[in-house]
Amino acid sequence: MKFFVDTADTAEIAALAASGLLDGVTTNPTLIAKSGRPMGAVIAEICKLVHGPVSAEVTATDHAGMMREAAVLRAIAHNVAIKVPLTPDGLRTCRALTDDGVMVNVTLCFSAAQAILAAKAGAAFVSPFVGRLDDIGEDGMGLIATILEIYRNYPGFKTEVLVASVRGPAHVVEAARLGAHVATVPPAVLHQLFAHPLTEKGLAGFLADWAKTGQTIAG
């Protein structure tokens, strides 16, 4: 399973990239706005920190506008994945970019029917938003299970299921249990994945006992 981090905070990304656990990054217009920096500079910096796919989202809503924006964004670095919304124009743009050899992440997916369309449009990734579905009383992880089941029926579908709008470790674990290809996770949730009280308690105990020996391993 691949881990992407869902942020435009380059300091956070640099720290997480150093862990060796990061396979890519997703951003969206909200996250870019939160960074308070120009989008081009942020995406360029992220692409230097992480070699895997870095999603940069278009904000035009028509096909021609999306293509113009995609031309600017894809020129930033070879690992930019163009993120388009799951709309008719977005999927038309997805097909055009895919045919031109560009990775596309189709975002704002909330149904299995939409996920089928994204795969038919040749998307490299489809991003179902599990947290936002849970927020309105629907079953986000149930949607992931359904999409994976459908995609497995069609080996010709090369689209990877990128679990998005992740709210906590339980979403990540369930995504892995279902066999989702990728989870894009906010930095805070990535940090939570490390935590277990017995790990902290066990380490404290080992270190206390070790200190009593007066030994050092590396001098």
Residues annotated as part of the active site = 83
| Binding status of residue 26 toward ligand E4P by CB under 6 A | yes
**Residues 6 or more apart from 128 whose CB is under 8 A from it?**
109, 110, 115, 140, 143, 144, 147, 161, 162, 163, 164
- In this structure, which amino acid lies at residue 151? Y
Alpha carbon distance, N-terminus to C-terminus of the chain: 38
Give the interface segment with ligand E4P, choosing from 71-79, 88-96, 127-135, 145-153 (CB under 6 A). Answer: 127-135
Among 3, 6, 53, 86, binds ligand E4P (CB under 6 A): 6
Among 10, 28, 93, 98, binds ligand E4P (CB under 6 A): 28
| Binding status of residue 127 toward ligand E4P by CB under 6 A | yes
| Binding status of residue 132 toward ligand E4P by CB under 6 A | yes
| Binding status of residue 184 toward ligand E4P by CB under 6 A | yes
Half-sphere exposure of 45 (CA within 13 A, CB side): 17
Give the interface segment with ligand E4P, choosing from 72-80, 86-94, 96-104, 126-134 (CB under 6 A). Answer: 126-134
Alpha-carbon torsion 144, 33, 42, 188, what sign? negative
Among 86, 164, 172, 190, binds ligand E4P (CB under 6 A): 164
CB of 212 vs ligand E4P, minimal distance in Å: 47
Pair 80, 74: CB distance under 8 Å: yes
| Binding status of residue 159 toward ligand E4P by CB under 6 A | no
Of 59 and 202, CB closest to ligand E4P = 59
| Binding status of residue 9 toward ligand E4P by CB under 6 A | no
Q: Which of 115, 121, 51 is nearest to 93 (CA)?
A: 121
| Binding status of residue 160 toward ligand E4P by CB under 6 A | no
Of 10 and 165, CB closest to ligand E4P = 165
Residue position matching structure tokens 């849970």 = 134
Of 17 and 162, CB closest to ligand E4P = 162
Instruction: Tell me the H-state helices in 55-163.
Output: 63-74, 88-99, 112-120, 130-135, 140-152
- In this structure, which amino acid lies at residue 47? C
Pair 66, 51: CB distance under 8 Å: no
Q: Which residues bind ligand E4P (CB under 6 A)?
A: 6, 26, 28, 107, 127, 129, 131-132, 164-165, 184
